[in-house]
Amino acid sequence: MTEHVRAAIVGSTGYGGVELIRVLLGHPAVTITSVISSSSAGAPISEGFPHLNSIMHDSLDAVDVPLIASKADVVFLATPAGVAAKLAPQMLDAGLKVIDLSGDFRLKTPEIYTQWYKREGASQEDLDKAVFGLCEIYGEQVPGKEFISNPGCYPTATLLGLVPAVKAGWIDPSTIIVDAKSGISGGGRGLGLGFHYAEANENFSAYKLNRHQHIPEIEQVLSDAAGREVIITFSTHLVPMTRGIMATCYAQLNGKHDTREFIEMYRNFYEGRRFVRIREEGKWPATKEVWGSNYCDIGFAVDERTNRVTVVSVIDNVMKGAAGQAVQNLNLMLGWDETTGLQLTPVYP
């Protein structure tokens, strides 16, 4: 590794941004040169985040594109939907490499974005510049690129669990149902009634059924894998835990394949990809087993009675679902080993 890069983080006071700080502080070839806030510029970052006391002394910079371009080589945009659509083109024009963690550049057309995100999005010209950085599936497209759109948290867990089976033709894509659950940090640091302790604790609720903004992102990739249009049923639930996503995916088998064959086929598919771990027969992953890490753990159960497969896929939403995969994309962009700075053992217990 010869290069050393300077990184800036817009949205550094949010959950994705603060996690980027944690990961990048341990990255051997990256220095964080600017942490940026649209609402608290001038304040020391450790004031709002005391866990960074005596670790990070920087004060927050304002969102000032020329300033950021003078201080950094790469910028991470960990901002709410709609912000990157405007900021990313300015950052690229200023010569920065950009990794966007929001959904602003994941969908192929402005029309689909507006339909699901209920707002105006980026232009077709700008959308065409972004590479969708689902590392284990499209990673070979990332090296040397300037602009990466980091996948969503639910899509990452779901797609890593389903793409090999769809590509192999082992499941009928028209029968896919995904039952997904997320911890509360998935909703970001902003306040919301459903995220209050008294509302979420000892509760388990479904939300955005059939209208979640991640549905078109998942369908886009599954359609690419299947070579034809795929439409899925996708349900999301809020779990009273801080981090973690579990996507439990069901599909009808084409022909006969047992659990052992699924395990072998997925192990071959992900050979050499260090962040995907396939479980043994009869073992299914739990969110705690990837907590604080960049792993995606996957387990299978084929039911001979129904001829359906259940695929259980778990990630840490803030890591593999956001900051971890963003750093994995940075590593791939720059031709580094994709695990650089990301070899974090899950926190247990």
Ligand X SMILES: NC(=O)C1=CN([C@@H]2O[C@H](COP(=O)(O)OP(=O)(O)OC[C@H]3O[C@@H](n4cnc5c(N)ncnc54)[C@H](OP(=O)(O)O)[C@@H]3O)[C@@H](O)[C@H]2O)C=CC1
Which residues bind to ligand X2W, rule: CB under 6 A? 81, 102-103, 152-153, 182, 186-187, 213, 236, 238
Binding partner at 331 among ligand X, ligand X2W, none, C-beta below 5 to 8 Å by kind = none
Closer of 91 and 162 to ligand X (Cβ): 91
Residue whose C-alpha is closest to residue 69's, from 94, 92, 87: 94
Rounded-to-integer distance, Cα 23 and Cα 173, Å? 36
Please say which residue, 101 or 334, places its beta carbon nearer to ligand X2W: 101
Q: State the nearest-atom distance from the C-beta of 245 to ligand X2W, in Å.
A: 9
Q: Collapse the DSSP code of 59 into the 3-class scheme (helix H, G, I; strand E, B; otherwise coil) and give the result.
A: strand
Q: Are 255 and 223 in contact (CB under 8 A)?
A: no
Smallest gap from Cβ 213 to ligand X2W, in A, equals: 5
Peptide bond into 285 cis (omega under 30): no
Q: Are 30 and 5 in contact (CB under 8 A)?
A: yes
Q: Which of 344, 295, 316 is nearest to 24 (CA)?
A: 344
Nearest distance in Å: CB 207, ligand X2W: 7
Nearer to ligand X, 191 or 198 (CB): 191
Place of tokens 């209208």: 211
**Cβ 221 to ligand X shortest distance, Å:** 15
Q: Which is nearer to ligand X, 16 or 133 (CB)?
A: 16
Output helix, strand, coil percentages for the chain, rounded to the nearest 5: 35, 20, 45
C-beta nearest to ligand X: residue: 14
Active site residue 153: yes
238 binds, among ligand X2W, ligand X, none (CB under 5 to 8 A by kind): ligand X2W
Interface residue list for ligand X (CB under 6 A): 10-11, 13-17, 37-40, 63, 78-81, 83, 101-102, 152-153, 185-186, 188-190, 317-318, 321-322
Tell me how far CA of residue 224 lies from CA of 160, 231, 288, 343, in angstroms: 14, 12, 31, 30
* Residues known to be catalytic: 153
